Structure 1
Amino acid sequence: MSDLRDMFFEECDDLLEVLSTGLDDLQNENSDAETINSMFRSVHSIKGGAGAFGLDRLIKFAHAFENVLDDLRSDKLAVDPTITALMFSGFDHLNDLVDAARDDNDLPETDGAAVLAELKQTTQAANGTTGAEDEDANEVSEDDFVALSVNIGLDLGGDDSGLPDLPGLPPLGETSDGNSQFVVKFEADSALYARGHDPALLFRAIGEMGDLTIEADCSAVAPLESLQDAPASISWTLTLRPDDGIDEGTIREIFEFVEGQCTLEISEMMAEEEASELVVAPAPAAKAPEPVAKPIAQKSPAKAPKAEKVEKANKQEAKGGDGGKKSSEPRNSTIRVDLNRVDRLINLVGELVISEAMLRQSMNELPVSANSAVSEAIGQLKTLSGVLQESVMAIRAQPVRGLFQRMSRIVRESSRQAGKTSRLVMVGEATEVDKTVTERLVEPLTHMIRNSVDHGLEKAEDRLAAGKPEMGTIKLEAAHRSGRVVISLSDDGAGVNRVKVRQKAEEKGLVRPEDDLTDSDIDNLLFRPGFSTADEISQLSGRGVGMDVVRSEIQALGGRINLQSEPNKGTTITISLPLTLAVMEGMLIEVAGESLVVPTVALRETLQPGQANIHDFCDGDRGLSVNDSMLPIVDLGEALGFRSPLKNFNNQSLLLIEGESGRRSALAVDGIVEQREVVIKGLEQNYQTIPGIAAATILGNGKIALIVDTDQMIPSPGNGNPGLRKGSELTEVNSYV
């Protein structure tokens, strides 16, 4: 049961993701009938699975939720902002219930009570019923489910006399007068039961369309001792004499959300014809009756036009698909592996890459012909190790969709607390990022979104006065750029109030009144620890904790963060992160006898000694003239404390680097060796944080090379070199965080 329970909650995650996607489509007015149907199937499947584990509270809430969705798909309710808001609130609480059940925790009874009551009231208003009637209907449904399961489990003798009459349906064998009737032959696949569906609920829905007779064929049921591993084997024949207005399409709608999980055949005939076909003499005891249900593919051509949809579903099920809906094939073709095992595998592949580089360098030092078999083998080994490395890294890559959908709830809750209306627009949800990165981005993104709602978006009356829509928009976007993943969060609010930011900074002693600060310098004051522009403490802000946490987390991931704001148009915060935490492309350089690596993602151009147009300024500063602009030159050896300042850069190579903010600088180095992929080794876990150094790597000769943090090597305007102190220790760069 423990394994089954884990499987149930894993499937819940997938179902909740489908539900969240559908809700986003509803909010963005991109929904259609299939969107509502997929949402209904998701909630219904969660309810069915919860019933197997006795999660009564989850069952009760999911039932109320699916009732509203059922009213939406039957056009008893119309999609409007009120219904959409209710759906989002229901989704949030459903998510909480699933998480609580997974962790064996009990939520307070008051949690979700208001949402549950509102869901029930919405259903009652749509159907014109009272609360008492709904409660009675719910109790009957739950009791029927249990009774049907027990009776079917006990009566397996091939005789249908022991099967119970379904409440609300006529007794077996009774029909009413009529000129035509439908014969429904139904056999459930194992997947239908595995997803928590109950055939009795389907039959009950058909029973509301007219007089119904049900016959069960249990001849294919396995003996009790082997029943556990036996496939689904009960089939039913349902004979319906429909009420006026009921046609085959109406009946098929009942089975719509189990398409691909059953064998279904529906035929229409005159009552007399049907009676002659169904009156069959009892079969001799020695012979087992023939199975009633037949595969859809064997139906006659005359019935094909009305059954195209089911035939298509049956063929796709045979191929492992179901027309865009979830099928069993993806689950069968994937495995869940403990993350620690994947980490060990990645570390081993990294060591393999290092060993390959060491072997290649050793072979290069030997007098071996470049065309020898050994060189070819080394080249092939390098290719294979590269492919293996990429494949292993892809194992940890996951779409950011799940992370973005979690942020959708943060937007709703923050807006509710701030008394504002806003929506989240997601772009690039399929962008894949290392799993560790997505997990550690939850807290930074949460802080950023809360700040956007509280400080960025205006009140509704202020937005209307400024000619903006009453509802604010927060946009969360992800994309791959130059070997990195870039995540940006933007809002259409009032932008950063730079006058207020500077005033607060002066009050806290962070800047002096006479300091000449650019707009970018003022914006980046928001990342200082303890800094806040809120006049009073609220649930969202005011304590000065938030953006400094964001900066620390992003830097710990080897990333960079940049803030850009335009008055009355909004603010955009951009996070740039390594695509993977294990491998990067870098330029190997030499400085004062030490080997260093400069990430190529920040590298724009290289200049050999004598190629640069260098100008000397006061206080020993030097600048590089490039395309009618002057860039500051940073002596990398001096900045990292490897040597004393150089008198001139005549023998130095220059590397032009650029940060996410667009600022550029030139690094003076002793020599450029080559460009190569390096395996990143973190310093924080094994040593400590070093100013100016992002990480380390192991070269082919077995030596350690430090990886330069290029952002800390870009001076801020007017401050000369990047804030060097005595002892050659790097200070914090004010221009970039």
Structure 2
Amino acid sequence: MFDFGDAVDAPEDMAPEAWVIHFKPHKRLYETGNEPALLLRELARLGPCEVSLDTSELCALADLAEPAACLSWTIELNAPVELEAITEIFEFVEGECDLVILPKTDPLADVEESSVGDVDIAALLAAATAPAPILDGPAGGDVDIQALLAMATAPLEPAPVAELAPTPKPVAPVVPAAPPTSSKAAAPAGNSAPASGGQASIRVDLDRIDKLINVVGELVIQQAMLAQSVAECGIAASSTVKVGLEDLEQLSREIQDSVMAIRAQPVKSVFQRMPRLVREVADMTGKHVRLVTEGEATEVDKTVVDRLAEPITHMIRNAIDHGLEDVEGREAAGKPKEGIIRLAALHRSGRIVIEVSDDGRGINRERVRKIAVDRGLIAADANLSNEETDNLIFLPGFSTADTVSDISGRGVGMDVVRRSIQQLGGRISIASTPGKGSVFTMSLPLTLAVLDGMVVRAGGQTLLSPLSSIIESFTPKEGDLHRIGARDWVIRFRDRFLPLIDTGRVLGFSKPDAPEITGRDGIAIVVENEGGSQVALWVDDIQGQRQVVIKSLETNYRKVDGISAATILGDGRVALILDIDALVVLGRQQANQSEFKIAS
């Protein structure tokens, strides 16, 4: 982003009286769901605006071969606001538009509104960021502003070398470079330039990075296979070989971590969208709300960042509409009129944790329970803990709103949140205190390219269960297993019974004449599915915990029920990664049909 922070020859604490903003969206801006009207509305919040629409590039509908961005705007903001306040509005569309922000007193901003369509924004930027050429006139004389403006708006052509003075003495640039203390400034949002003395950067296509990650993943697999082969040959006891393998493993892990860091992006790109959302929802509800953000520099894989916006948006809307009291309610409770929404990100135990909290009324568990009973979601005599009661708000169609509005009442918001988090391999929890507020905590993996899992054997096949879904594993005692009906099994776990799924049989790996669960040794793994309920998976053996590189099964083979992906272990074996939710659904379907799939 270019820096125009010193475009005004005024003290740093004095903002210009007015600004001129040239805004031209790219096609990508519309494709990502952004609306220029919303940006203009945010500008209007800063002060009086005069907006001019340029339609000079708009062609006839019959001549429009494909969707294109044909409109641009020039906005005159007549308010002494800081430059950072303006750039903050356009910050989340960086790379999706051309943007020029200049003080109204700047000669380049003094363009007739009627001729806005003829101004080349790229030329304006070039003239604004490059030193002015030598003009005819006495040394140290006044610069011809009209000549500069003509150069900025005319087609750019290189000047003949012969016209340059032998030892040119540069005239002060039209827009001097900004000092390091002014990092946010007017710039074309589609471009970036390294700051003076800062680190240089390059743009790399995401497909190239993905390919590099795949190659590094293969390197890690080959390193593990080499270590396995050396161990089988009996030469791993050699100190030289052992040290060499350990060094190779460490280097492979460092390379993998470094490549993963390339895809990492700060969550700031998501967080910076939320202030506008908070203002809009607060206006719609008539509440006074202040958003506090923490940990915007926390980095996570780009894929995770791209998919965080939807669940965070739903949670903030829910916190304002359901969590915070209105002004009268807060005053009656002895709270400040202004409610606080806190959005924070941090790293914890190799994962990223996102917290959305409020200082509102908390969850009314009696009301939640009553609604759940009325809708037949739970029995009237169900004995639920506070945590289980709170989790009822994640059920599809569940809502505590009295009426349906543009904000809430449809019962889809929190259901979408949990589903989105589960699809990312994460989980969400609630901590609510009546009268003091609620905290929603999302725990997500830092990347979707690698996975921490538990390697198990079931039906003679090697499988991998994601660690994020595992609650506990144990060897059942005699009398813990019970048959329900013809095919269903349950297992006793901490004084309650959980559904038990015979993993190998459900996936079709077990032979038709294989003995029932009670006739063979095994281990029960308690897992949590997407809906928050717990089930137990029956496996033959647990072989250990591994971090593996995820390989798409659909890309290389086809979709398989109960399986989400595959990986290659260090000994060369292919392990299938379990899709816990799909496996539970598959087990129920087979139990209802009283038939099981046989492996082909």
TM-score, normalised to structure 2's length? 0.66
State how far apart, in whole Å, the 2-side matches of 1:710 and 1:62 are.
56
Residues 561 and 660 in structure 1, CA contact (< 8 A), matched pair in contact too: no
Residues 363 and 390 in structure 2, CA contact (< 8 A), matched pair in contact too: yes
Selected match of 2:139 from 159, 181, 184: 159
Match of 1:623 in 2: 492
Selected match of 1:524 from 385, 391, 394: 391
State how far apart, in whole Å, the 1-side matches of 2:264 and 2:222 are.
25
3-state SS of the aligned residue for 2:343?
strand
Residues 481 and 492 in structure 2, CA contact (< 8 A), matched pair in contact too: yes
Match of 1:497 in 2: 364
1:357 deviates by 2.6
- Is the alpha carbon distance of 1:165 and 1:39 closer, same or farther for their aligned partners in structure 2, counting shifts above 3 Å? closer
3-state SS of the aligned residue for 1:408?
helix
State how far apart, in whole Å, the 2-side matches of 1:165 and 1:337 are.
40
Residues 485 and 579 in structure 1, CA contact (< 8 A), matched pair in contact too: yes
Gaps of 5+ in 1: 1-6, 16-35, 71-86, 106-133, 167-192, 194-221, 237-254, 262-325, 714-720, 731-737
- Is the alpha carbon distance of 1:665 and 1:502 closer, same or farther for their aligned partners in structure 2, counting shifts above 3 Å? closer
3-state SS of the aligned residue for 2:213?
helix
State how far apart, in whole Å, the 2-side matches of 1:231 and 1:524 are.
73
Deviations 1:330-352 (A, max 9, x none): 352x2221222111111221122
Larger Rg: 1
Letter in 1 for 2:82: L
- Is the alpha carbon distance of 1:594 and 1:535 closer, same or farther for their aligned partners in structure 2, counting shifts above 3 Å? same
Deviations 1:370-426 (A, max 9, x none): 328666654443332211111100111122223212222211211111111111122
Matched, 1:142 2:110: yes
3-state SS of the aligned residue for 1:159?
coil
State how far apart, in whole Å, the 2-side matches of 1:449 and 1:481 are.
22
Residues 451 and 549 in structure 2, CA contact (< 8 A), matched pair in contact too: yes
Match of 2:550 in 1: 680
3-state SS of the aligned residue for 2:269?
helix
1:564 deviates by 3.7
State how far apart, in whole Å, the 1-side matches of 2:142 and 2:407 are.
62
Matched, 1:234 2:103: no
Letter in 2 for 1:328: S
State how far apart, in whole Å, the 1-side matches of 2:81 and 2:180 are.
25
Match of 1:727 in 2: 590
Instruction: Please give the residue correspondences for 1:657-672 in structure 2 after superposition, counting only pairs within 5 Å.
Output: 669-672=539-542
Residues 680 and 697 in structure 1, CA contact (< 8 A), matched pair in contact too: yes
Deviations 1:182-240 (A, max 9, x none): xxxxxxxxxxx9xxxxxxxxxxxxxxxxxxxxxxxxxxxx9856979x9982269xxxx
Deviations 1:1-47 (A, max 9, x none): xxxxxx55xx79xx9xxxxxxxxxxxxxxxxxxxx959969x99x97
State how far apart, in whole Å, the 2-side matches of 1:570 and 1:232 are.
65
Matched, 1:395 2:262: yes
Deviations 1:468-514 (A, max 9, x none): 22111111122222222121211122223344444444554444545
Residues 614 and 624 in structure 1, CA contact (< 8 A), matched pair in contact too: no
State how far apart, in whole Å, the 1-side matches of 2:257 and 2:498 are.
37
1:466 deviates by 1.5
Match of 1:475 in 2: 342
State how far apart, in whole Å, the 2-side matches of 1:649 and 1:456 are.
52
Letter in 2 for 1:699: L
- Is the alpha carbon distance of 1:497 and 1:586 closer, same or farther for their aligned partners in structure 2, counting shifts above 3 Å? same
3-state SS of the aligned residue for 2:542?
strand
Instruction: Please give the residue correspondences for 1:167-178 in structure 2 after superposition, counting only pairs within 5 Å.
Output: none
Match of 2:568 in 1: 698
1:679 deviates by 0.7
Deviations 1:684-731 (A, max 9, x none): 66644745x554322234433133466899xxxxxxx9995252599x
Instruction: Please give the residue correspondences for 1:244-255 in structure 2 after superposition, counting only pairs within 5 Å.
Output: none
State how far apart, in whole Å, the 2-side matches of 1:415 and 1:159 are.
58
Residues 502 and 537 in structure 2, CA contact (< 8 A), matched pair in contact too: yes
Residues 631 and 664 in structure 1, CA contact (< 8 A), matched pair in contact too: no
Match of 2:286 in 1: 419
Matched, 1:328 2:196: yes
Residues 131 and 171 in structure 2, CA contact (< 8 A), matched pair in contact too: no
Match of 2:232 in 1: 365
More contact order relative to length (CA 8 Å, sep ≥ 6)? 2
Letter in 1 for 2:432: S
Match of 1:344 in 2: 211
3-state SS of the aligned residue for 1:365?
helix
Match of 1:591 in 2: 458
Residues 624 and 633 in structure 1, CA contact (< 8 A), matched pair in contact too: no
- Is the alpha carbon distance of 1:485 and 1:534 closer, same or farther for their aligned partners in structure 2, counting shifts above 3 Å? same
TM-score, normalised to structure 1's length? 0.55
Residues 47 and 59 in structure 1, CA contact (< 8 A), matched pair in contact too: no
- Is the alpha carbon distance of 1:432 and 1:636 closer, same or farther for their aligned partners in structure 2, counting shifts above 3 Å? farther
Match of 1:3 in 2: none
Letter in 2 for 1:450: R
Instruction: Please give the residue correspondences for 1:436-585 in structure 2 after superposition, counting only pairs within 5 Å.
Output: 436-513=303-380, 515-585=382-452
State how far apart, in whole Å, the 1-side matches of 2:169 and 2:402 are.
65
1:661 deviates by 11
User: Which segment is superposed worse, 524-533 or 589-598?
Assistant: 524-533
Selected match of 1:432 from 283, 299, 303: 299
Count of residue correspondences: 496
3-state SS of the aligned residue for 1:597?
strand
3-state SS of the aligned residue for 1:580?
coil
Match of 2:81 in 1: 68
3-state SS of the aligned residue for 1:598?
strand
Instruction: Please give the residue correspondences for 1:578-657 in structure 2 after superposition, counting only pairs within 5 Å.
Output: 578-600=445-467, 616=480, 619=483, 621-623=490-492, 634=500, 637=503, 640-641=506-507, 643=510, 646-648=516-518, 651-653=521-523
1:360 deviates by 3.2
1:652 deviates by 3.3
Deviations 1:92-129 (A, max 9, x none): 75558x66x94479xxxxxxxxxxxxxxxxxxxxxxxx
Report which of the two has the higher share of helix: 1
Residues 352 and 385 in structure 1, CA contact (< 8 A), matched pair in contact too: yes
Letter in 2 for 1:142: D
Matched, 1:408 2:271: no
State how far apart, in whole Å, the 2-side matches of 1:489 and 1:685 are.
36
- Is the alpha carbon distance of 1:465 and 1:384 closer, same or farther for their aligned partners in structure 2, counting shifts above 3 Å? same
